[in-house]
Amino acid sequence: MNNALNLLQPYPFEKLRALLAGVQPPADKAPIALSIGEPKHRSPSFVAETLAANLDQLSVYPTTLGLPMLREAIAHWCERRFRVPAGWLDPARHVLPVNGTREALFSFTQAVVERERSGLVISPNPFYQIYEGAALLAGATPHYLPCTEENGFNPDFDAVPSQVWQRCQILFICSPGNPTGALVPLDTLKKLIALADEHDFVIAADECYSELYFDEQNPPPGLLTACAELGRSDFSRCVVFHSLSKRSNLPGLRSGFVAGDAEILKKYLLYRTYHGCAMPVQTQLASIAAWNDEAHVSANRVLYREKFDAVLDILQPVLDVKRPDGSFYLWPRTPADDTVFTRELFAREHVTVVPGSFLSREVDGFNPGANRVRMALVAPRAECVEAAGRIRDFVNAG
């Protein structure tokens, strides 16, 4: 067996199950889960109809590169969404369909890391645990950058020593962040591109929450926006990861894409042909329908805005919690240890959240997720409001 498997930590939800084991919540209160970030809004019916109308494609082997019209739809969406000049993104060279960002983030790391080097994979802390597992199984060493409130819940990239950047092979960024919801500013993205050029590493931008934001008139920028403003038409050392899971409430479709540096994607495509991860043709056709429509995405944001407004009205008087820049998470500070808070909240109110320390790593005696919890506002509005009321009562009871 691969010895690196022994380096993997339990997934946060395994730790959560162990934490709550043996706890008997009140039977008279219905369970409410704010723990798993699984979208619960209705999936767009036209996507399901397109999928059903193309089930005859089950008899067709899909290609790893994907249908030209899917890659064209994705490229045009990127142009519209991130202000990329028309024609810069060549659908044949700069875009690859993938089976969701989780699969892509992991496999991309395996393809990019040079095992013979003593390389680092740098990520924010707290972080999506796939970054860490992918690094370890690729033979690299994870390096964590704390995301504290003092720095807007983003890493302090200026504090990273030059020798760390010199060893970096992949820099993971997540914007809006999981679990903090923080956006990486456009000027920071440009600064990171300059660092990637100087030290020859790849920026892997996980932007799967990019379409969940609050100001309809000001969509947040992404790494492609920074490339466009810098005149970087080759997208050198820059790769973005996007998904239909959060944008379109289609987590079960397992559909997303990577886009960016053509030379990197050419080699990544070679990896994927051996990896055996081609997207089924009927899924590709349904994905085209989703990427070509914005009305359902705008309606989705309305639902989230309504939930954030209602929940924050209830929680802000009793908890240190702020509206994030984006995503569907709240990242409140807890009045007690985050694991104690989580366990007691479940025991007394039948509400499940995730301890922030389970989503972070302790470095030099400091865990940036400690004394915080992640709350995913994915359930229907009434359920989120009910959960917020129970949390308020729990905090007030002390």
In terms of domains, do 305 and 190 share one? Answer: no
Tokens representing residue 365 in the block = 């005696």
Give the residue from 255, 275, 293 where a domain finishes.
Answer: 293
Range of the domain at 34: 3-42+296-397
pLDDT at 200 over 90: yes
* Residue 312: Cβ within 10 Å count: 18
Checking DSSP bridges between strand 120-125 and strand 373-376, what pairing results, if any?
A: unpaired
pLDDT at 251 over 90: yes
Instruction: Please give the model's pTM, rounded to 2 decimal places.
Output: 0.97
Residue 398's pLDDT is 84
Quick one: average pLDDT of 293-310? 98
Across the chain, mean pLDDT equals 97
Per-residue pLDDT tens over the stretch 37-71 = 999 999 999 999 999 999 999 999 999 999 999 99
Quick one: average pLDDT of 279-299? 98
Q: Is 123 strand, coil or helix?
A: strand
CA distance 140 to 133: 10
pLDDT at 143 over 90: yes
In terms of domains, do 76 and 164 share one? Answer: yes
Residue 360 in domain: yes
pLDDT at 16 over 90: yes
Q: Is 386 left (phi over 0), alpha (psi -120 to 50) or beta?
A: alpha
pLDDT band at 116 (very low <50, low <70, confident <90, very high): confident
pLDDT at 118 over 90: no
The structure tokens 């070679």 sit at 270
In terms of domains, do 344 and 231 share one? Answer: no
* Residue 393: Cβ within 10 Å count: 12
Tokens representing residue 241 in the block = 């990861």
CA distance 244 to 100: 8
In terms of domains, do 69 and 151 share one? Answer: yes
CATH code: domain of residue 13:
3.90.1150.10
pLDDT band at 217 (very low <50, low <70, confident <90, very high): very high
Residue 364's pLDDT is 95
Quick one: average pLDDT of 104-117? 94
Contact 384, 311 (CB under 8 A): yes
In terms of domains, do 30 and 81 share one? Answer: no
Give the residue from 293, 308, 339 where a domain finishes.
Answer: 293
Give the residue from 272, 293, 314 where a domain finishes.
Answer: 293
Checking DSSP bridges between strand 256-260 and strand 238-243, what pairing results, if any?
A: antiparallel
CATH code: domain of residue 126:
3.40.640.10
Residue 56 in domain: no
pLDDT band at 19 (very low <50, low <70, confident <90, very high): very high
In terms of domains, do 274 and 329 share one? Answer: no
pLDDT band at 383 (very low <50, low <70, confident <90, very high): very high
pLDDT at 117 over 90: no
